[in-house]
């Protein structure tokens, strides 16, 4: 099936970007926006909102220079409109006669055997019998011991006036009781051991089936990932298994290769289409844990797509990251113990894996005589505002304790991308890292850490809400998620590329902090108003 959709004549002569999209940091090109509008109209027409899903568009050029796009969706479900020419899967994992579905059927059969054994009447009867036998044995032993105790008391009374022959008889009685108790213990233990061995035999069968299931699952997964073979612009091909082994020597997570971006690039390479620009957007209801807004554009996921796209983008000129050299670090206050800075948006608090420039490295050069850890707390790279830095180990320990004890008072100013209801409130949504898409965070009431934010509206305009956040806890991305999540304020912060719509910068600013000076115990208060 031909999945290419040509643009109308008006768009055929559009100016094309020089660089291809950096899928992890981009703003949609206008041609991607046009392609998305075409696809979204089709999705709207077919009422494709029952289940939220990530869709992608790739603007491409045919050999005759005809400009158009191809489209895909993440996942391998077949519940998306069949009338639209979405690109196929990189590997048809859903083929009912293929090795993967047959392997799944084998694993399901093992699962059923495991479940049947675990809930079987045989195992239930054995466990019940074992518990009853243990209880009965314990009761028998208690009764015998109580009787022996009473008999001993009677023998002790008889000993007072007993003759030699009577003493010998008393001793034989005592020895007989001890011997009988020992025999009873041994007999009851044998009876319990028999039942226990029968239980262990069934559990051994369960363990063997689970081990077989694990082995079969690993073999099937490896075989599958070796069938996901990805091309790139240089004409090279490599399996998902080999890509991840070279990237970080890990096993690719489930679903690798089924995201929209790899599907789009694969189809383009195999069909001699020149990739121009790419974008992905969410369509439909938001997941319960993640923050995905209907119609918003999002970067590609990290865990599945970063290694794969790292291979697939070879041979394309990728849009470079913006340099941070122009970001100025403003000093607000300094003394012998502390430094207060105004961190600009876009500068890291501490060095990252791929970027050394940070508040820490700059101040390290500025204060080479500093004797202790300098960074006490952090701000997200995208967040601007007040950051407290220490020059000595003692100051660091004292301030760190204040942060740990939650005695430091902080206020953040943010501009929300919409009008919210209410004027004040408290948000309590526990958070944890999204293991499949770092550094994104998830709302998780089972495994998340407590995250609490108080808020107050500062000003409302026609389209925006300026708000003050008073964080009680300090979780990663706490304010950003509490603003964007549908159980929070349901309105992302302006410029939030992870949970909202990317713009020039994130409009979140640490505007106030109050703490005790680590050397003098004097209350220190600093304000740095937001410039938005």
- Angle at alpha carbon of residue 226, lines to 77 and 269, rounded to 5°: 70
Sorted by sequence, the CB contacts under 8 Å of residue 499 that are 6+ apart come out as 291, 293, 440, 477, 480, 481, 483, 484, 485, 492, 493
Domain membership of residue 450 (yes or no) is: yes
Contact 243, 311 (CB under 8 A): yes
Looking at the fold, whether 358 and 473 belong to one and the same domain comes out as: yes
Residue 490 structure tokens: 């349901």
Q: What is the CATH number of the domain that holds 448?
A: 3.30.2350.10
What are the CA-CA distances from residue 423 to residues 335, 470, 489 (Å)? 39, 14, 11
- Count Cα neighbours of 230 within 13 Å in the Cβ-side half-sphere: 26
Same domain, 156 and 248: no
The count of structural domains within the chain is 3
**Do the domain assignments include residue 97?**
no
In whole angstroms, what is the distance from residue 76 CA to residue 114 CA? 28
> Would you state the pLDDT for residue 330?
94
* pLDDT recorded at residue 74: 93
Residue whose tokens read 């969410």 = 282
Per-residue pLDDT of the chain (532 residues; tens, 9 = 90+): 799 999 999 999 999 999 999 999 999 999 999 999 999 998 887 665 567 899 999 999 999 999 999 999 998 766 566 678 999 999 988 788 889 889 889 999 999 998 888 888 888 888 888 889 889 989 999 998 999 999 889 988 888 888 888 888 888 988 998 998 899 899 989 988 888 899 998 889 999 999 999 999 989 989 999 999 999 999 999 999 999 999 988 888 888 999 999 999 999 999 999 999 999 999 999 888 888 999 999 999 888 899 999 999 999 999 887 665 568 999 999 999 999 999 999 999 998 776 788 999 999 999 998 887 889 999 999 999 999 999 999 999 999 999 999 999 999 999 999 999 999 999 999 999 998 888 899 999 999 999 999 999 999 999 999 999 999 999 999 999 999 999 999 999 999 999 999 998 999 999 999 999 999 999 999 999 999 9
For 125, residues 6+ apart whose C-beta sits below 8 A from its C-beta are: none
CB 258 within 8 A of CB 75: yes
- Domain residues for the domain of 289 are 5-91+230-312
DSSP one-letter string for 244-299 = HHHHTS-PPPTTTT-SHHHHHHHHHHHTTPEEEEEEEEEESSPPSSS---TT-EEP
322 within a domain of the structure (yes/no)? no
Cα distances (Å, whole numbers) of residue 68 to 40, 233, 262, 326? 16, 19, 18, 38
Q: Which helix (H) or strand (E) holds 333?
A: strand 330-334
Same domain, yes or no: 455 and 346 = yes
* Block residue for tokens 């993640």: 290
Would residue 472 be called left, alpha or beta, if left means φ above 0 and alpha means ψ between -120 and 50 degrees?
alpha
φ, ψ for residue 135 (rounded to 5)? -65, -40
**205 shares a domain with 189:** yes
Residue 31 CA to residue 39 CA, distance in Å, equals: 13
348 lies in the same domain as 306:
no
Same domain, 363 and 509: yes
Q: Is 380 in the active site?
A: yes
Residue 320 lies in a domain: no
Phi, psi of 450 (to 5 degrees): -55, 135
Place of tokens 């568009």: 57
Residues 342 and 424 in one domain: yes
Shared domain check, 352 and 497: yes
**Which one of the listed residues 380, 434, 437, 496 is annotated catalytic?**
380
User: Which residue's entry shows tokens 């990252």?
Assistant: 352
d(CA 70, CA 86): 7
Residues 6+ apart with CB under 8 A from 527: 511, 512
Longest dimension (CA), the chain: 126
Which of 184, 206, 224 is the C-terminal boundary of a domain?
224
Alpha carbons 122 and 202: distance in angstroms, whole number? 9
The answer on 180 and 126 residing in a single domain is: yes
Question: pTM, whole model, 2 decimals?
Answer: 0.76
State which of 312, 339, 372 marks the end of a domain.
312
Which of 224, 258, 282 is the C-terminal boundary of a domain? 224
Geometric angle at alpha carbon 442, from 438 and 444, rounded to 5°: 140
| Residue 299 included in any domain | yes
User: What letter would DSSP give residue 17?
Assistant: P
Please report the sign of the dihedral spanned by the C-alpha atoms of residue 423, residue 427, residue 433, residue 437. Answer: negative
Is residue 173 a contact partner of residue 155, using CB atoms and an 8 Å limit? yes
Phi then psi for 231, rounded to 5 degrees?
-95, 170
Pull the structure tokens for residue 353: 């894996």
308 part of a folded domain? yes
- Please name which of 434, 93, 502, 89 lies closest in space to residue 287, comparing C-alpha atoms: 434
Tokens of 333: 């206050």
Q: At what angle do helices 99-118 and 164-227 cross, to 10 degrees?
A: 160
Same domain, 220 and 234: no
- Is the same domain home to 391 and 368? yes
37 and 179 co-located in one domain:
no
Q: Considering the domain boundaries, does residue 271 fall inside one?
A: yes
């Amino acid at each position: 099936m031909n999945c290419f959709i040509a643009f109308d004549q008006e768009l055929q002569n559009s100016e094309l970007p020089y660089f291809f999209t950096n899928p992890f940091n981009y703003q949609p090109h206008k041609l991607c926006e046009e392609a998305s509008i075409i696809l979204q109209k089709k999705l709207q027409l077919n009422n494709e909102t029952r289940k939220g899903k990530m869709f992608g568009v790739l603007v491409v050029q045919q050999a005759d220079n005809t400009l158009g796009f191809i489209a895909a969706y993440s996942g391998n479900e077949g519940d998306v409109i069949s009338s639209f020419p979405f690109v196929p899967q990189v590997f048809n994992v859903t083929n009912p006669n293929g090795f993967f579905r047959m392997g799944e059927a084998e694993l399901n059969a093992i699962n059923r055997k495991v479940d049947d054994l675990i809930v079987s009447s045989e195992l239930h009867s054995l466990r019940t019998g074992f518990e009853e036998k243990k209880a009965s044995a314990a009761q028998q032993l208690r009764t015998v011991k109580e009787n022996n105790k009473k008999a001993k008391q009677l023998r002790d009374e008889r000993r007072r006036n007993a003759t030699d022959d009577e003493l010998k008889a008393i001793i034989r009685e005592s020895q007989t009781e001890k011997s009988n108790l020992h025999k009873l213990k041994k007999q009851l233990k044998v009876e319990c051991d028999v039942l226990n061995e029968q239980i262990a035999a069934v559990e051994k069968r369960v363990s063997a089936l689970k081990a077989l299931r694990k082995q079969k699952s690993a073999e099937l997964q490896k075989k599958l990932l070796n069938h996901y073979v990805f091309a790139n612009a240089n004409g090279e091909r490599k399996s998902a298994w080999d890509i991840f082994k070279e990237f970080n020597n890990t096993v690719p997570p489930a679903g690798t290769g089924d995201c929209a971006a790899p599907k789009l690039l694969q189809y383009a390479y195999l069909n001699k289409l020149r990739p121009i620009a790419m974008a992905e957007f969410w369509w439909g209801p938001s997941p319960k844990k993640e923050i995905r807004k209907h119609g918003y554009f999002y970067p590609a996921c990290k865990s599945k797509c970063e290694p794969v796209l790292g291979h697939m983008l070879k041979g394309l000129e990728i849009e470079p990251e913006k340099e941070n050299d122009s970001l100025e670090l403003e000093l607000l206050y300094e003394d012998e113990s502390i430094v207060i800075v105004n961190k600009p948006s876009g500068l890291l608090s501490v060095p990252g894996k791929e970027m050394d420039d940070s508040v820490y490295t700059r101040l390290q050069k500025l204060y080479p005589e500093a004797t202790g850890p300098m960074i006490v707390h952090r701000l997200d790279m995208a967040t601007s505002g007040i950051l407290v830095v220490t020059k000595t180990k003692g100051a660091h320990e004292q301030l760190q304790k204040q942060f740990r004890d939650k005695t430091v008072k902080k206020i953040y100013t943010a501009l929300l991308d919409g009008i919210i209801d209410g004027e004040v409130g408290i948000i309590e949504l526990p958070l944890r890292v999204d293991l499949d898409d770092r550094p994104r965070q998830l709302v998780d009431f089972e495994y998340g850490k407590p995250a609490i934010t108080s808020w107050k509206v500062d000003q409302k305009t026609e389209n925006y809400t300026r708000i003050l956040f008073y964080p009680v806890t300090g979780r990663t991305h706490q304010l950003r998620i509490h603003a964007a999540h549908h159980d929070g304020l349901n309105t992302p912060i302006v410029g939030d590329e992870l949970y909202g719509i990317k713009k020039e910068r994130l409009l979140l600013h640490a505007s106030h902090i109050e703490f005790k000076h680590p050397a003098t115990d004097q209350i220190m208060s600093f304000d740095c108003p937001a410039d938005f």
